[in-house]
């Protein structure tokens, strides 16, 4: 069955909402000191690839485009700010395994966690750049995104696939 672009986004948003609810409710009924010292691991209800395509691809493209074509209205700036928050959120989400065949293997590696943290930090920087309407900083964020995305894909997943999700290609600057 074919779902619209917005249907997929709604599914990702719903999955994230459920993740938050489940993680908030996942408390042991009795306190156990040994269990309390163990790291808590959550599993996303979708694959990391789905998170990347739905959140990162969707958010990175408008940020790259803003460096080429400045947002003109408050509404365009607000939308860009939402995309920056999406990047920050995605960096946090991909630190956890999902349903993908390699998700547990990837997230268990320190290198994966470093890339995840860098994506999160790039999202934080993007939020600040957009809030300040600083086009030079937004351009630098675009460069950071290229480094983070290409570095992580180089280490963990070649080539740079979307897995056929959404069927969208990244934009190119128009002259």
122-141: pLDDT as tens digits: 999 999 999 999 999 999 99
Q: Are 90 and 55 in contact (CB under 8 A)?
A: yes
pLDDT score at 164: 58
147-157 residues labelled b (16+ CB within 10 A) or e (exposed): ebbeebeeeeb
Q: Is residue 42 predicted with pLDDT exceeding 70?
A: yes
Question: Per-residue pLDDT averaged across 108-125, rounded?
Answer: 97
Q: Are 81 and 124 in contact (CB under 8 A)?
A: no
* Ranges 48-62, 73-87, 123-137, 153-167: which has the least confidence: 153-167
Residue with tokens 């940020």: 63
* Ranges 31-45, 72-86, 115-129, 143-157: which has the least confidence: 31-45
Q: Is residue 113 predicted with pLDDT exceeding 90?
A: yes
Q: Is residue 62 predicted with pLDDT exceeding 80?
A: yes
pLDDT score at 157: 76
pTM value is 0.72
CATH of 5-156, one of 2.60.40, 1.20.1070, 1.10.10, 1.20.120: 1.20.120
Domains in the chain: boundaries = 5-156
Q: Of 95, 14, 111, which Cα lies nearest the Cα of 54?
A: 14
pLDDT score at 41: 72
Residue 45 DSSP class: S
């Amino acid at each position: 069955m074919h779902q619209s672009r917005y249907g997929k986004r709604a599914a990702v948003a719903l999955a994230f909402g459920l993740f938050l609810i489940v993680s908030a409710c996942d408390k042991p009924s009795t306190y156990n000191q040994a269990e309390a010292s163990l790291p808590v691991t959550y599993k996303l209800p979708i694959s990391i690839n789905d998170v990347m395509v739905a959140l990162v691809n969707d958010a990175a493209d408008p940020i790259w485009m803003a460096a080429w074509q400045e947002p003109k209205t408050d509404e365009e700036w607000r939308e860009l700010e939402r995309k920056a928050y999406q990047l920050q959120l995605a960096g946090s989400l991909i630190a956890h395994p999902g349903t993908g065949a390699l998700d547990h293997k990837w997230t268990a590696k320190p290198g994966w966690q470093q890339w995840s943290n860098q994506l999160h930090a790039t999202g934080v920087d993007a939020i600040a750049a957009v809030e300040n309407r600083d086009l030079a900083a937004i351009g630098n964020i675009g460069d950071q995104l290229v480094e983070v995305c290409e570095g992580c894909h180089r280490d963990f997943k070649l080539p740079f696939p979307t897995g056929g999700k959404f069927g969208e290609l990244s934009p190119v600057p128009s002259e």
